[in-house]
């Protein structure tokens, strides 16, 4: 099966390891698009032999896709991989409801989203939505076996209004505990900093799913203290007191910290088990395998058999 993959230049997080692994399972034609190309997909697709592909995997920022629904609706075998669909249900997001409106214009597309509850809500609206948790790149993020000189840390953004719950919790914790709120560049600098942190505080408050930084921290050997998301833990396979410690309030979080300080062997056990879990379940290699399996499944057909040929004819170069 030949698959056209369209992804974004300078994508964050970087999914290059996923696309390096996909050719193990499928015939992949990978195209990495700049911003101008993402905004003008019709022009870009005109240079491709679209009839040679059985599937098209689209992994582009929603803000660049949303205005091109008419074009995308004509692509058969379309799979959209979307890591930000949780914003469809966030009252603080400018994209609240926009994902649903966009997907309604794509009757033959399938969706892969990174939240189990988000997938369930989309399915309840009639969309063909599947859940795959976010993952991490094991070639870039790993345990360096270094001394951890930061007891309690968080690395990431807090300024966006979508992260208001995160910021409030972290600020409250920092007023009571020696929490360090850190920012780094992606890559080696990020890995080195994670390897300095003993207890990583995840505060995905109100987001309804696990951000990639949870799994990245576990991969680097941190003990993860994660905001309890409800159905997400079971869907991913994460178990409290086995792979991580879950909390639903600041008081519960501080109780976990006190316990970890009393029981250093607990911290060692959680760090080892968490690292082993993400390595076996949530690496980008595993994500590639799961995406390949979905791409090989039977696909909904467009209403009219000749529609694809008519669409492709729009891109044939004119002579003379």
Mean pLDDT of the chain: 91
Measured between alpha carbons, how far is 101 from 111 in angstroms, rounded to an integer?
A: 14
User: What is the per-residue pLDDT for 319?
Assistant: 39
For 193-244, what is each residue's pLDDT tens digit? Answer: 999 999 999 998 888 899 999 999 999 999 999 999 988 999 999 999 999 9
In order, the DSSP letters of 153-209 are EEES---SGGGHHHHHHHHHHHTTS-EEEE---TTHHHHHHHTTEEEEEE--TTT-S
Q: Provide the strand spans (E) within the chain.
A: 2-8, 27-33, 55-59, 78-82, 110-113, 129-131, 150-155, 179-182, 197-202, 223-227, 245-247
* Topology classification of domain 2-135+284-313: Rossmann fold (3.40.50)
Sorting pLDDT into bands at 50, 70 and 90, what band is 29? very high
Any idea which of 19-33, 94-108, 154-168 has the lowest mean pLDDT? 154-168
Q: Is the pLDDT of residue 161 over 90?
A: no
Task: Please indicate whether the domains covering 2-135+284-313 and 150-281 agree at the CATH topology level.
Answer: yes
- Checking if the pLDDT of 16 tops 50, the result is yes
> What's the pLDDT score for residue 311?
52
pLDDT at residue 159 in the model: 74
User: pLDDT by residue (tens digit) across 61-104?
Assistant: 999 999 999 999 988 899 999 999 999 999 889 999 999 999 99
Which runs of E-coded beta strand occur in 228-316?
245-247
Q: What is the structure's pLDDT at 12?
A: 86
Question: What pLDDT digit, counting tens, does each position of 257-283 carry?
Answer: 999 999 999 999 999 999 999 999 999
Average confidence (pLDDT) over 151-168: 87
| Token reading at 17 | 């390891």
List the one residue out of 139, 191, 187 whose CA is nearest residue 21: 139
Domain range list for the chain: 2-135+284-313, 150-281
Question: d(Cα 172, Cα 125) in Å, to the nearest integer?
Answer: 37
What is the CATH topology of the domain spanning 150-281?
Rossmann fold (3.40.50)
């Amino acid at each position: 099966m030949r698959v056209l993959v369209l992804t974004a230049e300078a994508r964050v997080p970087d999914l290059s390891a996923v696309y390096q692994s996909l050719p193990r399972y499928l015939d992949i034609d990978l195209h990495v698009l700049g911003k101008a190309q993402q905004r003008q997909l019709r022009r870009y697709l005109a240079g491709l032999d679209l009839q040679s592909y059985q599937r098209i995997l689209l992994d582009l920022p929603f803000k660049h896709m949303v205005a091109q629904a008419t074009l995308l609706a004509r692509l058969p075998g379309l799979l959209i991989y979307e890591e930000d669909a949780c914003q469809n249900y966030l009252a603080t997001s400018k994209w609240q409801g926009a994902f649903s409106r966009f997907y309604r214009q794509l009757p033959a597309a399938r969706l892969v989203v990174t939240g189990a509850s988000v997938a369930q809500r989309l399915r309840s609206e009639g969309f063909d939505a599947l859940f795959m948790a976010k993952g991490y790149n094991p070639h870039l993020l790993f345990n360096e076996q270094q001394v951890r000189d930061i007891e309690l840390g968080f690395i990431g953004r807090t300024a966006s209004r979508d992260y208001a719950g995160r910021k409030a919790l972290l600020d409250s914790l920092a007023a009571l505990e020696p929490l360090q709120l850190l920012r780094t560049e992606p890559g080696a600098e990020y890995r080195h900093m994670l390897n300095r942190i003993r207890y990583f505080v995840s505060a995905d408050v109100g987001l309804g799913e696990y951000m990639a930084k949870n799994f990245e921290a576990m991969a680097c050997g941190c003990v993860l203290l994660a905001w309890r998301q409800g159905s997400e833990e079971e869907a991913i396979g994460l178990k409290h007191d086995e792979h991580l410690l879950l909390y639903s309030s600041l008081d519960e979080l501080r109780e976990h910290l006190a316990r970890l300080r009393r029981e250093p062997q607990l911290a060692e056990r959680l760090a080892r088990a968490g690292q082993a879990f993400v390595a076996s379940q949530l690496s980008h290699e595993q994500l590639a395998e799961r995406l390949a399996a979905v791409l090989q499944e039977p696909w909904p057909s467009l209403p009219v058999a000749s529609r694809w040929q008519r669409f492709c004819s729009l891109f044939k170069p004119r002579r003379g």
